[in-house]
Amino acid sequence: MAHTTIFGVVLVNLLLQLQLVLANVPAVIVFGDSSVDTGNNNQIATVVKSNFEPYGRDYYGGKPTGRFSNGRVFTDFISEAFGIKLAMPAYLDPAHNMTDMATGVCFASAGTGYDNATSNVLSVVPLWKQLEYYKKYREELMDYLGQEKAETVLREALYIIGLGTNDFLENYYAVPGRSSEFSIEEYRNFLAGIAGGFVEALYGLGARKISLGGLPPMGCLPLERTRNLFFGGGCIEEYNNVAKEFNVKIQGLVSKLNDQLSGIQLVFSDPYDILSQIIQNPDLFGFTNAKESCCGTGYFEMGYLCDKNNPFTCRDANKYVFWDSFHPTERTSGLLVMGDDARGATRSNPEKVAEASAKAMEGGKKKTGSDAKARGQIPEGEWRIEKAEY
């Protein structure tokens, strides 16, 4: 099974968290922030960008795509693990048409949050607007596949919602406004209210399999450690606690909505524990550095500050938990999705990724005992593994 066991603690990776509930998935549809943006911000006027070197240096063809990573992001691994495609196309990217997007698409925008005020800080795509784009996509999919087929795909698709970190770190704790309006508990409830409303809106549009993500141990991001440098550069425990409490709130929301919305399969995808274990015991996972990031000095560089001419940038990102001061490396993302089975699984080791995905899929199938394809629920055409052109 795709569990990671260290010190007697069983860690369940994101893929297994999903597999327990979701059998087969014809498309992956993503909403969120830079943890999952695959290039939408390239198309908008904002400073939050990463479509230049050294971003993407371990991606297919060493190409920067707008992913905040040296390679792929975790939703790319999830799409691959479900046997769909290796990379999620960004909705706003004119290079993609419906042939690419019928098996999954990404509406995420780096720098955004649940709160409209968060997306305003750096002029990125707010969550409500991502939903508007999704509505447009639905129409386009109906035109492309025909209504009946499109409705099946939209119902059986896996929807991934991944954001929230920026609401706290880019907004609440960084700029005046929300912190004078809301206590931290009130703000957490405010965000959870928006998350709940978003899930209900998706459900209302026909979505059934939805993964709502929790927050990572955000006090351990290299940028936050740097703020804490005067006190030794440890993790900022206050931020980690905020993340843990937010996750408890989201978990409660997930159980409530599972009770309330008939037929929904809502999963809470929790990256907190597995990421904490990686950060606390990097050597057990083959990393040598969990404190500084690979790019630049490792203390603060991200976005435009992560510059290809910086002589301090590390050579082998696979040895680092973090790629820039705010985002994991591709290898960390692979581990998050597939756990221990993906040790060493990266772009440079595609067989290993495929093997780990296959194993995880097997675990999920056994658990659910179902195969939607065999039941004939999924249109045959949607099951081809796309040769993504990236």
Ligand X SMILES: *[C@@H]1O[C@H](CO)[C@@H](O)[C@H](O)[C@H]1NC(C)=O
Binding region for ligand X (CB under 6 A): 97-99, 116, 128, 194
CB of 170 to ligand X, least distance (A): 17
Nearer to ligand X, 99 or 260 (CB): 99
Catalytic residue of the set 324, 325, 340, 341 = 324
C-alpha 339, offset from chain centre: 15
Nearer to ligand X, 166 or 313 (CB): 166
Classify 137 as helix, strand or coil.
helix
Give the closest residue to 254 by CA, choosing from 267, 271, 269, 264. Answer: 267
Indicate which residue of 58, 93, 269, 327 is catalytic.
327
Half-sphere exposure of 85 (CA within 13 A, CB side): 22
Strand order in the sheet with 158-162: 104-106, 28-32, 158-162, 209-213, 265-269
Between 9 and 98, CB nearer to ligand X: 98
For residue 186, give Cα distances in angstroms to 165, 179, 182, 191.
Answer: 16, 10, 5, 9
Comparison of 245 and 386: residue with beta carbon closer to ligand X: 386
Three-class SS state of 331: helix
Q: Which of the residues 34, 109, 211, 293 is marked catalytic?
A: 34
Would you say 315 or 387 has its CB closer to ligand X?
A: 387
Element (H, E) at 355: helix 350-368
Tokens 């059934």: give the residue.
Answer: 208
Please state the closest distance from residue 144 (CB atom) to ligand X, in A: 6
Is residue 96 annotated as a catalytic residue, yes or no?
no
Q: Judged by CB, which is closer to ligand X: 191, or 275?
A: 191
Smallest distance, ligand X to C-beta of residue 190, A: 8
Report the nearest approach of ligand X to the CB of residue 212 (Å).
17
Q: What tokens appear for 152 in the block?
A: 């099946």
- Tell me the Cα Rg of the chain: 19
For residue 180, give the H/E element and its range.
Answer: helix 178-181
> Which residues have CB under 8 Å from 357's CB, separation 6+?
15, 77, 80, 81, 83, 338
Tokens representing 234 are: 């440890």
Which residue shows structure tokens 């005020």?
117
- Least CB distance to ligand X at residue 196 (A): 11
- Nearest-approach distance from CB 122 to ligand X, in angstroms: 16
Is 327 a known active-site residue? yes
Residue 175 C-alpha from the chain's centroid: 25
Residues acting as catalytic residues? 34, 324, 327
